[in-house]
A and B are shown apart, each in its own frame.
Chain A
Amino acid sequence: MPGVQAVDELGLDTSDGEVRNFNDSRICHQEDAMSTVTSPYQTGQKMTPRSMVVWGVVAVAGAVCWTVLALARGENVSALWILFAALSSYAIAYRFYARFITYRVLGADNTRATPAERLENGVDFDVTDRRVLFGHHFAAIAGAGPLVGPVLAAQMGYLPGTIWIIVGVIFAGAVQDMVVLFFSMRRNGKSLGQMVREEIGTVGGIAALIAVFSIMIIILAVLALVVVNALAASPWGVFSIGLTIPIALFMGFYLRYLRPGRVMEVTAIGVTLMLAAIIGGNYVEQMGLAETLTLSKETLVICLIIYGFLASILPVWMLLTPRDYLSTFMKVGVIVLLAIGLVIARPVLQSPAVSDFAINGNGPVFAGKLFPFVFITIACGALSGFHALIASGTTPKMIAKESQVRMIGYGAMLTESFVAISALIAASVINQGLYFTINSPASATGGTPGAAAQFIGTLGFTISPADLTAAAQSVHEITLISRTGGAPTLAFGISLIFTKAFGGGLAAFWYHFAIMFEALFILTAVDAGTRVGRFMLQDTVGNIWPRYANISWKPASWSASAVVVGLWGYMLYIGVTDPIGGIYQLFPLFGISNQLLAAIALTLCVTLMFKHGRARYVWVPGIALAWDLIITMTASWEKVFSSDPKIGYFQQRSVFQAALDKGHLIAPAKTMDQMQQVITNSTLNGFLQALFAVLTLIVLASAIPVWINAAKSRGLPTTEVPRQPSHIVAAAELFATAQEKRAVREYEDSQRKLATSGRSR
């Protein structure tokens, strides 16, 4: 059967990663072209006078923006100063620091074949155009995280968040992503857990595995909590998000049966339907659905759990893949729109540069002072450990040239950071009274306009009950009071910016548009995360009971899915019903655990720098690791041991326990059951917090002896795949040089000739 043979030739059907590509024998005589293309990078390039001038201008522009931000206080600071401070800093970091890391620190070698080239099978291992891979990688790392954290951190003013997002991404987040991507690429795309086990040791490896799994559960639960808080008591939101399920199903069936493979046209249809669903939400009342779709948080939790379970056991083509197309399209669309909107609207910042909450630590959104809590509240966008899982997943298997880790690893993370900056701006242009009304937990605001306005007064802001009602009405929501989780705040800010930029009285549409895309990102992350968790669980149990690892064995896959959904569903339920407020209690846990994962990834990076005999440059991942350990360990310590019951989980537990023993109630608990609930939740949260920190320390403790040994012997053997010469020709950087373009064209022509001659043979 010729068809079947074609499958095997392409390695499409392969479970064997070693299947070699049919191309191998054909590409050979390119060594000369390659060396001319890459030689400038091997020797280091001198800057031309022209580029010195250009970069001088960028540096001056950046310095001016930063100076304005540092000195301007009081009224009328334009948000564009933040935007341009960010862009110029990113440009300089990418041009100089990322380049230095690529060629000096990591020693990227473009004459060395990447796994995509060596093991090409057209499926996992697949040489991919750098710009295309950038798109894939960015879509995988960026979601709702960079939109949520900065919004919450805005309670401390715009400046701490701005500085951390920009400095953090340049020296930590983007470095982690790029270095993990590079080391995984040098090991045929091994996962983070595998690399920790093989390069640091079994104990560290097991600790890392448990950490990765449990941190993923927390991340899924908190993300789902954001969706629940955004959709509760919002019939419009429930209507449009609910419709994305039939839309995704339709797209899935379309691609499977009607017109297989026509992704672009089905995405166009899907996006159109989705926009119609957002517009349609405005008419829920006329359709008589308003009451049916006004769901409580508890109902939404049950819906999400059922949805999450079904989505993870249904075939991917039905829900997951089409939803991913929609979500990716929306992601890029929204980011571009937001950047344009900001530049046109030129909004003025409403929040102070640094708020009192940053210093006294009594903020209503989350407890704790600027240090360390601003740094852990903003994880995604500055430093996100979860990215290390993606950078050691499919991306390293698709890179064409080693130096491309710079644009894919570092560049994609800079882009995510830009998203975080935009979100921070959107949250900072909202009236401060309104910002705190939306983000303070119901236990503080009391839930009614009158009580909320009074509470806001105690914080030192003024907003009238009538203003609160008017604000909710302007975006067609029943209420905006205590709509915690960041999504409604961001949506409100975006709606303000877009209304100012594009006009047209569409505030409610833009609000629900923003809610829609955030929910879409999160549901995609929940689908995919549950599936990844299921596979991890099956794989782990499979070590003891091999049959359980069989992914096509239904009892195993269903039960593993149920366990994963059950775990995040339980955490979600705890968050939703927490008397003190789910976001207030759980968001710090989310942020800290994400950055503890980063600490594990950076520990691996430092270890590998030592083992590769590059101790000279170990400071590059080293400063990121050191800072990350300082913030995560301080924050973990405070969350576990602080004697302030607002911060320390166990202190909170003992305060509530003592009162309960005496039969007293402590606000915000209203019943003895709620007292008990606070006790249970804070015990669990405190335990998880301590566990994650200890797991990270175990990885670190098992790595340090390796560092010492490797430093003494100036390197140790690693699992790096030995060098093999590269034969393909591809541009090394984002912008191809004229020389590279010529070489690539010649190479492609020669490929075509080879293909035709192969055919005539």
Chain B
Amino acid sequence: MRTYALKVGRGIYWYLKQVTGEAKWDEYLERARSQDMEPMSRRDFERHRSEHKANNPQARCC
């Protein structure tokens, strides 16, 4: 029962991280590490993402 609740909780946390885009940073770190590259700071990383969002607006429907 407890392990099940834990599993569900972990699942929700994973989902929220993915959906909010927070996981992108973890993925980036992972990639940078696997390629032996110095990652940029999180601030710069998020700026790139926001700039991209600014230049590629997505419509929201009704």
Contact = CB atoms under 8 A, between A and B. Distances in A.
Interface in A378-399: 379-380, 384, 386-387, 389-390, 393-394
B11 to A, nearest CB: 10
B2 interface: no
Interface in B42-62: 42-50, 52-62
Contacts of B31: 6, 9-10, 22, 122
B59 A393 contact: yes
Nearest to A528: B60
Contacts of B57: 316, 528, 531-532, 535
B19 A135 contact: yes
Contacts of A122: 24, 27-28, 31
B52 A143 contact: no
Nearest to A1: B38
Contacts of A123: 49, 52
Contact of B42 (A143, A260, A387, A531): A260
A211 B60 CA distance: 17
B61 A141 contact: yes
Given A124-B56, A315-B54, A264 B22 contact: yes
A140 interface: yes
Interface residues of B, number: 44
Nearest to A327: B60
B46 A261 contact: yes
B49 to A, nearest CB: 8
Given A5-B37, A132-B19, A759-B36, A390 B62 contact: no
Contacts of B3: none
B20 A532 contact: no
B35 to A, nearest CB: 7
A317 interface: yes
Given A123-B52, A261-B25, A759 B33 contact: yes
A325 B32 CA distance: 28
A143 B39 contact: no
A84 to B, nearest CB: 26
A255 B40 contact: no
A521 B53 CA distance: 19
B59 A262 contact: no
A144 B60 CA distance: 10
A136 interface: yes
Given A256-B50, A261-B25, 8 more contacts: A4-B40, A6-B31, A22-B35, A140-B61, A263-B22, A389-B59, A389-B61, A758-B34
7 contacts: A6-B28, A132-B19, A261-B42, A262-B22, A380-B62, A390-B61, A394-B58
Interface of B: 15-22, 24-25, 27-28, 30-50, 52-62
Interface of A: 2-7, 9-10, 12-13, 22, 122-124, 129, 131-132, 135-136, 139-146, 148, 216, 219, 223, 255-256, 260-264, 267, 315-317, 321, 324-325, 379-380, 384, 386-387, 389-390, 393-394, 521, 524-525, 528-529, 531-532, 535, 551, 594, 755-756, 758-759
